[in-house]
Structure 1
C-alpha cells in the first residue's frame, strides 16, 4: 500500500485523487438494472438501477473510506495505531485500513451492534471493546481511550466524518456518475451522512441536474431533524437498522447536506424490511437494513423521477434481519 501523508479537503479534485487510490485496491462495483424492480416501481426497462456496494470487502461501501484512510495516515498515526467507534461497517472499514497500513486498531462498539459485524472487525485483526447502549456512549468511550492513554503512543481517534473517510466514501458516487451520467435522481441512505455528502459533491461536478435524495429511518431521525432546522439536533435511535442508528447530527456533514440534498425522507423500519425483501426477491441481493433504505425511500416517493439509482450500501445482514426476511 502506497502511503501518502497529506491532509485533504472536501473538493472534487480530492475525490478524483481518492478514486485513483481506491481503484488500486478495489474493483468498481456493479450498477445493474433489475426488470422486476422496474415493473414494481412502474419505470421503463432500466429505469431503476441498483449500485451493489455490498459486494466489496467487508460487505459495505464504507471500506472505501478505510482504503483511502490507510493511504493518508501520518507516520505518527501508523505508529500509535487507531481507535474508533461504530455499530459495524465503519468499524470494519477502520480495521481494514489498519491492516493495510500495518498498524493496530481498537474499535468500541455499543450493545446494539450486530454480532456479525463484531465478528467481522475481530477477523480483520482489530481489538473489539464493547461499551455503552448506543453509539453516543461508545463514541465517548473511544475518544477517552485516545485522549486519556497519555504519551506519544496514544492511539489516534478516527471519526466517521474524518475528511479522509468522506473522500473515500465519495468514490462510490464518482463510479456511479461515470457509469450512468444521465440519472434523474439518486437515493442515498443516511446515518452520519458521509455517503450523501460524497454524492452531492460528485453530482455538483458531473451531473448537476440530478437530484440527490437522502433516506433515514424514522426511528433514528436526528440527522433529518438537523437538516430541517439547520442546527445539530439529537433524537433517540431505536431503529432496527444498525447502520442508520445515529442519535445526533454531525457538524462536518450537515452544511453539505443542507446545501446539496434536494429532499430528505423518513421511512419506517417496516418499510425498510419490505425493501430488503424486495431486493432479495427482485434483485437477488441480501441487504442489511441500511442497504435497503434507499429502495424504501424510492418506494415511499409519490412523484418518482424517470431514471434513478438506489445505493445498496451494505450486505451485512444480522441474524435477526435474515429471520425477518424469511418470516414474511
Structure 2
C-alpha cells in the first residue's frame, strides 16, 4: 500500500507542474491577445477565469503531492515547487485587489453630475451584452458617489462655452484618449458641446468610456464629465482617478491661457524653496490660478 503511494506521487507531481504552466500560458495568451491583437473582452474574461481555476487546481494538487512526499518519500519536489510558485503567483494577482475592493466603493460609473450625467450616444454601440449598459443607475450610484467622492462636482469657469470646449478637447488629447465624437457648442444645438472618448488601461487594455458636456454662454461655461467601465461591477478606482485627472488637465489648460499665468508658473518653478515639496508648490499654483469651481 505504501509502495503504491510512492509510485503514484511522481505522476501526480508531473501533472501539478503541467497544469500550472498551462494555466500561465493561457493567462499570458489572453492578456497579450486582448492588449495587442483585438481579442474580445468576454473571451479574455473567460480565459482568465479558466487560467485562475487551473492555477488553483495546480496548487491544491501540489499540496497533496507535497504531503505524500513528506510522509512516504519519493521524487517530484521540483515539480511541486514549480506548481506552488507559478500557481500561487497567479492567484496572488487577483488577491492583491482585495484591499482596494474593501477600501473603495463598488462603483463602475462616475460623473460630476449624478442628477444629469452626460450621455453615451456614439459609444452605445460598443456596449453590447454582456457589457454594462449605458444608462446611469442613479438609484445605486448617486448616493454612494456623494458619500465617497464629494469633491466631484461640475467645473465652472469664467470663459465662453466655445473656448472652454476647445480647451477640453485639448485636455482629452493630452490624456491620450481616443476621441470618438466631438460636437462643438453652436446656436443650432443650444450651445451644448459634447465629446465622447475611449481610454484604454495600460496592461490588459480594458476600454473605458468617457463623455464630456460643455454648456454656457459668452461669459461662463460649465463642464460635466462621466467615466464608466464597460465590464465589471467594481472599477477599482479607475474612473474617479480618470475624472480627477481630466479636471486637473482642463484647469491646467485654462491656466495656460490666462495672461501672465505661464510666466508666473515659470517664476514659481525657478524659485528656490527647499523646505517645500515640489508637489506642494504645484498644488499651490493650481489653487492660485484655478478657475471658479462650485
TM class, shorter-chain normalised? under 0.3
Q: TM-score, normalised to structure 1's length?
A: 0.22
Q: TM-score, normalised to structure 2's length?
A: 0.23
Q: Which structure has the larger Rg over C-alpha atoms?
A: 2
